[in-house]
Structure 1
Amino acid sequence: MRILTTVAVLGLLVGPPALAAEDWQQQIASGLGKQGSEMPGGVYRVGLPRTDLNVTLDGVAIKPTLALSSWLAFKAMGDEVMVMGDLVLTQEEINPVLTRLEQGGVEITALHNHLLRSAPATMYVHVHGHGDPSKLATTLREALNASKTPFGAETAGITPQAATQASTTASTGQLPDLDTAAIDRTLGRKGKVNGGVYQVSVPRAEAVKDGGMEVPEAMGSAIAINFQPTGQGKVAITGDFVLTADELNPVIKALQSNGIEVTAVHNHMLNDEPRLFFMHFWANDEAPKLAKGLRAALDQVKVAKG
């Protein structure tokens, strides 16, 4: 009979050693060529807004932070890293990017629209993967190199702390054409300004898991509502509601009865618990009216207390 050493027995009991956050985050930054930010829940998130695209919808020039921001969110899992994300692509970019992702072992969990009538049309690819942080980052960078996604200057030498501070600074400020305090009161949530857009995140009441692993808010498990001022007291809204099956049609009814268009219903994950559906929406109207409609929809959903 083989006798295991004390070290081997302990290794079986406790599993592989956890990665040091500073090490794996720097590997991701180096592989992608762009620094991310530390987020709640142990998430390291890299934003990749499609600033190269000039997209209009119903006469509104869409800001990247309203509906055109690719993102990748990473979380340590023992000696590996998990990644989830959403890539904004033009139609001709889709298959070259998907081919490289599949070659590198990154799964595609969804491909769909978020908007209707936008020109040029954009599609959204949701991804999931796990493994060595450097290899994951390299695969993702090579895949996105098949698109025109801008990465900006190399920032691998910047520390995560400095990147977080820069991100926080960019997310503060005011929108003179939008009464954000009134939106906060109506929705019962406080948002933040980011790139000329007011963004509100509303987590669900229950923990969301994918393949048994918890999916924090920063990895896409929360309801996202974005407001972009369009002049004369109006605002364009879009985002996605994260819903269980029984909530889906009550939310559709609440949105449509308040003049808000439902533009897509689909999955983002494959092994989610509970089973969730993501509903995207659009409207361009008076801000108080739309905020009231969004609150009516939120009242149909089991959300965490504000």
Structure 2
Amino acid sequence: MRTAILAVIGIGACILSATSGPFTAAARAQNVDWQKVDDALGRKPAISDDVHRYGFPRTDLAVTLDGVTIKPALALGGWVAFKPAHGGVMVMGDLVLLETEINPVMAKMIANGLEITAVHNHLLRASPATFYMHVAGHGDPVRLASAIHDALAEGKTPLTVAAPAGPPPAIDLDTARLDQIIGIKGQSNGGVYQFNVKRRDPIMQEGMPLTPVGPMGVAIGINFQPTGGGKAAITGDFVLTGDEVNPVILALRAHGIEVTALHSHMLDEQPRLFFMHFWANDDVVKLAEGLRAALDKTASTKS
């Protein structure tokens, strides 16, 4: 009798494990009609594990900063990410807006049940100035997708995806050297060389881990855009706990890298995180070494 009871308990534990781990996440993801979400947003996502991330780059804008024409992948790449959660989906996003678009888009977001979690700059001196609206929501995925689409329609964010004009521009940088200095493998995107550096500590929101961290916007992002002669413009954001903020500021400034913004992106994540944006246009190796010095002040991973 005791053996039979233990066997039943063991079976129950296996069932509980199977329904509370990655199998559940996969099942929830399968329950979402992603084609309807794609149709509502008018584009296809990049899929990583159970996260569907939709890009909304401001390809309509010609933004310059310190004489550099900024490519969308450097600092104008708005996005929203959908992750199955709690019987629906969790949505997080970072949308690039002009000053005149902020209030119309915000009003429509609020009216459609989305939350605004931050509005701020990432850059300084850019012309035209761009602002970044962070949004969040939870519920039916198609309803949320339609709400985001309708809100963006209040501004001039392109809502149709243009066909590529040609092959992606070459990255005129020693990317192998950059990989070595930063400590992980980067990737090319629209003429920009990008790194997503993970933190070692898990990041939670609404009782769920925000994974994968890159698509969910909680990895340290570092972007290099070649500007000729072995130079590059850099920007991105460090994802930091409070005790890391000032050591990273000191490391960046000691290497000639400007700190352009410091703020939150979310409201109730654990641990509490701060996002530090930066800018420089200089010798690419010098800048990479400065970024590596700043990364060494964080609890970030390195290959």
Q: TM-score, normalised by structure 2?
A: 0.87
Counterpart residue type for residue 54 of structure 2: V
Query: Is residue 84–residue 90 contact of structure 2 (8 Å, CA) maintained in 1?
Result: yes
1:213 to 208, 214, 227: 208
| 2:100 counterpart residue number | 92
Residue identity over aligned pairs, in percent, reads: 56
Counterpart residue type for residue 179 of structure 1: D
1:135 is the counterpart of 2:130? no
Compute the displacement of 1:22 (Å): 7.0
1:283 to 277, 280, 283: 280
Counterpart residue type for residue 242 of structure 1: V
Query: Is residue 192–residue 198 contact of structure 1 (8 Å, CA) maintained in 2?
Result: yes
Looking at structure 1, the residues matched to 44 and 73 of structure 2 have their Cα atoms a distance apart, in angstroms, of 18
Looking at structure 2, the residues matched to 20 and 181 of structure 1 have their Cα atoms a distance apart, in angstroms, of 36
Query: Is residue 65–residue 195 contact of structure 1 (8 Å, CA) maintained in 2?
Result: yes
Looking at structure 2, the residues matched to 179 and 22 of structure 1 have their Cα atoms a distance apart, in angstroms, of 44
Query: Is residue 90–residue 121 contact of structure 1 (8 Å, CA) maintained in 2?
Result: yes
Within-5 A mapping of 1:199-238: 199-216=194-211, 217=213, 218-238=215-235
- Deviations, residues 49-68 of structure 1 (Å, cap 9, x unaligned): 10000000000000000000
1:72 is the counterpart of 2:80? yes
Compute the displacement of 1:102 (Å): 0.4
Unaligned runs of 5+ residues in structure 2 are 1-18
2:157 to 132, 149, 152: 149
- Deviations, residues 61-113 of structure 1 (Å, cap 9, x unaligned): 00000000110100011420111010000000000000010011110000000
Looking at structure 2, the residues matched to 109 and 116 of structure 1 have their Cα atoms a distance apart, in angstroms, of 21
Paired residues, number: 278
Compute the displacement of 1:212 (Å): 1.9
| 1:11 counterpart residue number | none
| 2:38 counterpart residue number | 29
| 2:115 counterpart residue number | 107
Counterpart residue type for residue 294 of structure 1: L
Higher relative contact order (CA 8 A, sep 6+): 1
Name the SS for the 2:184 alignment partner.
coil
Counterpart residue type for residue 93 of structure 2: G
Looking at structure 2, the residues matched to 281 and 178 of structure 1 have their Cα atoms a distance apart, in angstroms, of 20
Query: Is residue 106–residue 129 contact of structure 1 (8 Å, CA) maintained in 2?
Result: yes
Looking at structure 2, the residues matched to 219 and 106 of structure 1 have their Cα atoms a distance apart, in angstroms, of 17
- Deviations, residues 235-286 of structure 1 (Å, cap 9, x unaligned): 0000000000100000000000000000000000100100100000000000
Q: TM-score, normalised by structure 1?
A: 0.86
